[in-house]
Structure 1
Amino acid sequence: MKVTIERGTLLKALGHVQSVVERRNTIPILSNVLMRGDGGTLSLTATDLDIEVVEQVPADVEIDGAVTASAVTLFDIVRKLPDGTQVGLETGGQGGRLRLTAGRSEFTLAVLPEADFPQIQTDEKGTSFTAPASDLRRLIDKTRFAMSQEETRYYLNGIYLHASDEAGQKSLRAVATDGHRLARLDAPLPEGADAMPGVIVPRKAVLELRRLLDDAEDEVMVTVSASKIRFSSGDVVLTSKLIDGTFPDYQRVIPAGNDKIMRVDNADFARAVDRVSTVSADKTRSVKLSIGGDKLELLVNNPETGTATEELPVDYPADEMEIGFNARYLLDISGQIDGETATFKLNDPASPTVVQDEEDARALYVLMPLRV
């Protein structure tokens, strides 16, 4: 293989694919990126056996061929090269190593046989549709904070993506929960997505996809099968295995009878929670909300560090009540609300609370209370 490629083009492609690679790997080939020169294109592929990212970029290919070399080392080298440099990649010399040249710099890198590089099979039939990249970005951004990290409940370690038809309103819906809070967001249902099965996209795939969406074109092709999901945008394709499990019936967790409504300025509320939680216990981060008479009092009482209180004006016509929450969870949800007003729908101190953005009916959050 003999290829010449502009440094910025190569760096961007390596940045997309190398993040999939696990730094600590028991299988050496999985630390490498597969580079294949063919015609006027250089294709780069990286995988961890669960996720695969492939990107094709324009290059001057003098001799077709393929090679695998350390993804992290290549990325670090190219990152440190001067802007605008032409990078040469060549194999077939002494020892079969990869020779990288750029200006006066030259590197010789160890390689592994390209025939040993694993590939994720994608020949399954599935449902395909095209979705706006902006919708996918929003579905991820507003729900990923609620993904679980507990390995024992592996089926919660991702985002549940499915077609919803609730009250005659069809939508592409993303749901994430860790058992303490739940995030649900709707986007317009793309044409052809009605038949997609409900799938759980793993945490790592969600984070990799979000990174790729920053550079994605306006539309992303999504293909969903029984065990895999594929996202294609321009010259980048991300394929991921799905979590083989059943996502819980999240609708049962969302309370329908919460009739105590509190409206509060979201920015003021977030700042107040952040301030009083400074003295809260590290483990529970509990904050008590005392609501009544159009006034909200935030109270933290920690025997080890002290107490904190702060009052905020609210719109709350219901009976007085006290309820406790984890401050970090409150801040996570407040951070998703783009409008000025957050609406809390409460029932009693032991029941889940619904939080919504008054200006966005498509987003809904559920928060489990704490005993305080």
Structure 2
Amino acid sequence: MKFSCEKALLQAAIATSSRATAPKSSIPALEGILLEADSELRLTGYNLETGIRTVVPAQVAEGGSLVLSARLFGDIVRRLPDDMVSFSAEGLTVHIQCGMSEFNIQGIDPEEFPELPAVEPQNALELAQSTLADMINRTLFAVSDNESRPILTGSLFEVNGSTLSVVSVDGQRLAIRRETLEKAPNMDFSFVVPGAALSEVRGICSDVEETASITTGARHIMFQVGSTLLVTRRLEGEFLDYRQAISRKSTVLLTADVRQLMASIDRVSLIISEKFKSPLRCTVGDGMLYFSTRTAIGDASDQCPVTGDGGELKIGFNNRLLMDALKAVPTETALLKMGTSSSPCIIVPTDAEEGAEPYLFMVLPVRLSAG
């Protein structure tokens, strides 16, 4: 095996494929990157849950395959001078040279590296990389980390006509992001992708209009982003009926400046911590939203102007969950819908058609003690 490659390109490919390597494993090959050279150079990382394969431009003089420690290989290439990297292997002994730097390290038998699962196509869709990254970014925060309901540790991708919806829910909050597809698939379908895999998909997407494709199989899902391929298992089970979970009986409608609202919550939250927890108490007045909280550290209050009247509704929230939802709002202003002290707060665009909002965030309230 023998090839040469630009340092920057090789470093980027190692960083991408390393996203799917296991940090620690009883199988040493899973902590490594599989290098395969023939007509092209491919780097693959696989932790038995998610696999990432990327192609890097290289001049291949001799084909072959080998597994190298992702950490060591990455550290070596990152510290090399900005020049062409020459790579050659005799058996499992690898020689790396760049400029005046030389390394001789031991590799791992490629036979010990498991094959990536094959994805037999059932359904497929395409959308811009930037759009896919944005849809993941605005919903991933609401994915559950509770393994007692594995299906909720992923996001639901739902294709209905020409609309793609990505939905995440963790029992206390819900996030939906919708987008109209330029090329609508021939049929409606849905699938659930593990949150950990979506985090890696977001990392390999660029802020460009170039297309990313998603292909679903019986047990796995494949994301093709440029020259990089990510394969992950699909989560099986019945996802929450999110449409039934969304309360549409709101009597309080408030239009708020998102940044002002976040600033007020952030200030009041200064005395809340993991050690000193307390709900964020909200009183919805006429044209004003009042916040207060009290812990062993002290108490704090603030207020934010809004458009609308809540009739002095008192409602409590987990400050972190409410802030996470507001951070995901893409617009300067948003519409907050509330009902009673026990019904959720729904955040949507100010002018969106009900049921077809491009984004929707829902946060359940917490019970307030008397006084």
TM over 0.5: same fold? yes
Match status 1:149 vs 2:136:
no
Partner SS for 2:183? coil
Correspondences of 1:95-174 after superposition (within 5 Å):
96-164=92-160, 170-174=162-166
Unaligned runs of at least 5 residues, structure 2: none
> C-alpha separation between the residues in 2 aligned to 1:238 and 1:137?
14
> Does the aligned pair in 2 maintain the 1:260–1:346 contact within 8 Å?
yes
Offset of residue 104 of structure 1: 1.7
**130-139 or 117-126, which moves further after superposition?**
117-126
Match status 1:242 vs 2:240:
no
CA displacement 1:136-155 (0-9 Å, x = unmatched): 01110110111111121211
Partner SS for 1:288? strand
Offset of residue 231 of structure 1: 1.1
CA 77–164 in structure 1, closer or farther in 2 if over 3 Å, else same: same
Q: Report the residue type matching 1:212 in the other structure.
A: I
CA 217–89 in structure 1, closer or farther in 2 if over 3 Å, else same: farther
> C-alpha separation between the residues in 1 aligned to 2:349 and 2:142?
17
Name the TM-score, length of structure 2 as normaliser.
0.93
Q: CA RMSD in A?
A: 1.7
> Does the aligned pair in 1 maintain the 2:281–2:292 contact within 8 Å?
yes
Offset of residue 281 of structure 1: 5.0
> Does the aligned pair in 1 maintain the 2:129–2:211 contact within 8 Å?
yes
Q: Report the residue type matching 1:301 in the other structure.
A: R
Partner SS for 1:152? coil
Offset of residue 192 of structure 1: 4.4
Q: Report the residue type matching 1:319 in the other structure.
A: G
The alignment-based identity, stated in percent, is 28
> C-alpha separation between the residues in 2 aligned to 1:281 and 1:71?
37
CA 223–267 in structure 1, closer or farther in 2 if over 3 Å, else same: same
> Does the aligned pair in 2 maintain the 1:216–1:233 contact within 8 Å?
no
CA 215–21 in structure 1, closer or farther in 2 if over 3 Å, else same: farther
Offset of residue 68 of structure 1: 0.9
> Does the aligned pair in 1 maintain the 2:130–2:206 contact within 8 Å?
no
Correspondences of 1:39-50 after superposition (within 5 Å):
39=39, 41-50=40-49
> Does the aligned pair in 2 maintain the 1:159–1:174 contact within 8 Å?
yes
Task: Indicate the residue corresponding to 1:54 in structure 2.
Answer: 53
Offset of residue 370 of structure 1: 0.6
Name the TM-score, length of structure 1 as normaliser.
0.93
CA 356–215 in structure 1, closer or farther in 2 if over 3 Å, else same: closer
> C-alpha separation between the residues in 2 aligned to 1:140 and 1:255?
23
Match status 1:9 vs 2:9:
yes
Offset of residue 338 of structure 1: 2.5
Task: Indicate the residue corresponding to 1:24 in structure 2.
Answer: 24
CA displacement 1:332-353 (0-9 Å, x = unmatched): 1111122222211111001112
Q: Extract structure 1 runs of 4+ deviating beyond 4 A.
A: none
CA 50–364 in structure 1, closer or farther in 2 if over 3 Å, else same: same
> C-alpha separation between the residues in 2 aligned to 1:306 and 1:215?
44
Match of 2:217 among 217, 221, 225: 225
> Does the aligned pair in 2 maintain the 1:216–1:234 contact within 8 Å?
no
Unaligned runs of at least 5 residues, structure 1: none
Correspondences of 1:1-372 after superposition (within 5 Å):
1-39=1-39, 41-83=40-82, 85-92=83-90, 96-164=92-160, 170-195=162-187, 197-214=189-206, 218-282=210-274, 284-302=277-295, 304-358=296-350, 361-372=357-368
> C-alpha separation between the residues in 2 aligned to 1:129 and 1:282?
42
Q: Report the residue type matching 1:150 in the other structure.
A: N
> Does the aligned pair in 1 maintain the 2:130–2:207 contact within 8 Å?
no
Offset of residue 318 of structure 1: 4.3
Partner SS for 1:175? strand
> C-alpha separation between the residues in 2 aligned to 1:9 and 1:151?
38
Partner SS for 1:277? helix
> Does the aligned pair in 1 maintain the 2:279–2:316 contact within 8 Å?
yes
Q: Report the residue type matching 2:13 in the other structure.
A: A
Q: Report the residue type matching 1:227 in the other structure.
A: R
> C-alpha separation between the residues in 2 aligned to 1:123 and 1:342?
41
CA 31–281 in structure 1, closer or farther in 2 if over 3 Å, else same: closer
> C-alpha separation between the residues in 1 aligned to 2:212 and 2:305?
44
> C-alpha separation between the residues in 2 aligned to 1:123 and 1:275?
49
Q: Report the residue type matching 1:51 in the other structure.
A: T
